[in-house]
Amino acid sequence: METISFARGVPAPQLLPIAELADCAKTAIERDGAAALLYGHTLGYQPLREWIGERHGVDPVRVVVTNGSLQAFHFVLSAFAGAGRVIVERPTYDRPRKILSGFDEVALDDGGLDVDELERLLDGGERPAFLYTIPTFQNPAGVTLSEERRRRLAELASARPLRILEDDPYGLVRFEGEPLPTLFELEGGRNVMYSSSFSKTIAPGLRVGYVIVPEEIATGLEARPGDRRGRHVRSRRGLRRRAELGPSRLQLRLARRDRRGCIAAGWASPCCGGGEPAVAAPRRGLQSRG
C-alpha cells in the first residue's frame, strides 16, 4: 500500500515546475553568468531583494535572502542570542523545537495562539528573546490566527515591546477565502520580523527563503565574517527570472485544489475506514487541517 505522509509541508513531485525552472536557470546564467557563478552578496541577490522589498512595501536593505526560511530562524536566533528565552506555540514546527535548547510555550486553539496565556506568561517572567509564531495555516495544527487576535498581538508587540518572528511559508498556498493581514503589516514591521519561503510555492530543493528584519540587524549580519548565505545564488537569480516570466500560481492552485478534493474524498474511502470524512476539506495545501 502507498503511504501518503502528512508530516512535512512538501509539494507533490508532479507539481514541481521542472521545465520552467530549467528555463529560468539557463536564462539566469546566460544573462548574468559571471555574477551567478561567483560568490554572491552576503544578504542575497540584489534584484531579488528588491522584488521582495517591493512586494512587502519595505526598503530592500531590510531583506535578507536565506537558504530556506529555516535558516531565517537560525539567523534571528543568533541575532538575539543571550537576550532571553524564545516562546513558541504548543504544538509548533518540529525543527525550531529541535534547534532550541530550551523554550517557553503558549497553547493554540481553533483561533490560533492563546493571547491571554501569552500575556500571563509575559507578566510573570523575564522579557523573552522573541516569540516564534506561524499565524497562517500553522504547522502542524493547521489553524489560522483570527483577525481579532492578530490585532491584539500586534498591539502587544508595540506596547510591551515584544519581538516577534512571524513565519509565513503557507500564506500564499490558499484555496479559498480572503487573506488576513499579517502581524508584520499590522504592527508596521518595527518589532515584528517576517520570514517566508519559496519551498511551498515553487520547490523546497531551491533552498530559497527570506526574512525582513530591522535595518541594523541586516547590517550586522552583512558584517559577520565567514557566513555562507551567498550560496545558491543561481537559484535566487532563477527565482527572479521566474517572477519576470509571470508565475503560473493560478494553475498550481487549481491543481492543488483538485488534490484537496481527493484528500477529502480519500478519508471516506474504504482504506481509511469509509463513512463520513473525519476532517473538513482543507482551505489550503500541504498540512491536513485549515
Ligand X SMILES: Cc1ncc(COP(=O)(O)O)c(C=O)c1O
Residues within the interface to ligand X (CB under 6 A): 8-9, 68-70, 93, 134, 139, 167, 169, 197, 199, 204, 209
Minimum gap (Å) between residue 269 Cβ and ligand X: 27
What's the count of helices (H) and strands (E) in the chain, helices before strands? 10, 8
State which residue, 139 or 191, has the beta carbon closest to ligand X.
Answer: 139
State which residue, 169 or 285, has the beta carbon closest to ligand X.
Answer: 169
Strands (E), the chain: 63-66, 86-90, 103-109, 112-113, 130-133, 164-167, 192-197, 209-212
Minimum gap (Å) between residue 66 Cβ and ligand X: 8
Cell numbers for 116: 491571554
Torsion angles phi and psi, residue 180, rounded to 5: -85, 155
* Helix runs in 170-283, H state only: 183-187, 215-223, 233-245, 249-267
Minimum gap (Å) between residue 276 Cβ and ligand X: 28
Cell numbers for 69: 526560511
Minimum gap (Å) between residue 73 Cβ and ligand X: 7
- Order of all β-strands in the sheet with 164-167: 63-66, 209-212, 192-197, 164-167, 130-133, 86-90, 103-109, 112-113
State which residue, 182 or 197, has the beta carbon closest to ligand X.
Answer: 197
Minimum gap (Å) between residue 113 Cβ and ligand X: 14
Cell numbers for 78: 543568533
Partners of residue 194 on adjacent β-strands = 166, 212
Question: Which residue carries 495545501 as its cell?
Answer: 285
Please identify the residue of the shown chain whose CB is closest to the bound ligand X: 68
DSSP symbol at 136: S
Nearest to 130 by CA among 184, 93, 76: 76
Minimum gap (Å) between residue 287 Cβ and ligand X: 8
State which residue, 35 or 243, has the beta carbon closest to ligand X.
Answer: 243
State which residue, 120 or 139, has the beta carbon closest to ligand X.
Answer: 139
State which residue, 38 or 69, has the beta carbon closest to ligand X.
Answer: 69
State which residue, 191 or 201, has the beta carbon closest to ligand X.
Answer: 201
Specify the pairing of strand 130-133 against strand 164-167: parallel
Question: SS3 for 181?
Answer: coil
Minimum gap (Å) between residue 86 Cβ and ligand X: 14
